[in-house]
Amino acid sequence: MIAKLQCVVLDSVDVLELSRFYQSLLGGMVNQPDPRWSLDDGWATLHTDTGLVLAFQRVEDYRPPQWPDPVRPQQFHLDLGVEDLDQAQEDVLRLGATLLDGGDGKRGWRVFADPAGHPFCLVRD
């Protein structure tokens, strides 16, 4: 092994807004003191209860992906396991997510965008 994953970093215009969106979705603590990262107006973190850390960096000229357009590709996405796909969809839409692909009702996942336009999937556990 060469390295250990410390965090996943997402670009955003508003780092606090996006960190709070993911806190509502995953739980955890926004901007928990951690010597690995300095926190300021251009950087925020979310330490989840599972140990996963998401970081958010400000990019003033941020251009969100346009899924599934290859001209502005998704760049990355998160798969988030849920027990009840319909309830989870209601919850993330209420938090500010956008449904990108609801599927045909038969498959076990749906594609959304967070408030900054990053795609993520809700996947039935």
Q: What is the distance of C-alpha 123 from the center of its chain?
A: 14
Confidence of residue 1 (pLDDT cuts 50, 70, 90): confident
Q: Mean pLDDT across the chain, nearest whole number?
A: 90
- Determine, yes or no, domain membership for 66: no
- Determine, yes or no, domain membership for 70: no
CB 62 within 8 A of CB 17: no
Does one domain contain both 86 and 53?
no
- Determine, yes or no, domain membership for 103: yes
Whose structure tokens read 């996006």?
18
Extended beta strands in the chain, E state = 8-12, 29-30, 43-47, 53-58, 78-82, 98-101, 109-113, 119-124
Residue 105 reports pLDDT greater than 80: no
pLDDT value at residue 29: 97
Confidence of residue 31 (pLDDT cuts 50, 70, 90): very high
Confidence of residue 6 (pLDDT cuts 50, 70, 90): confident
Per-residue pLDDT reduced to its tens digit, 37-56: 888 889 999 999 999 999 99
Q: CA 17 to CA 76: how far, in whole Å?
A: 19
Q: What is the CATH number of the domain that holds 33?
A: 3.30.720
Does one domain contain both 17 and 49?
yes
- Determine, yes or no, domain membership for 3: no
In 51-68, which positions are buried (b, 16+ CB within 10 angstroms) versus exposed (e)? Answer: eebbbbebeeeeebbebe
Whose structure tokens read 């998160």?
78
Q: CA 37 to CA 62: how far, in whole Å?
A: 22
Evaluate if pTM is beyond 0.75: yes
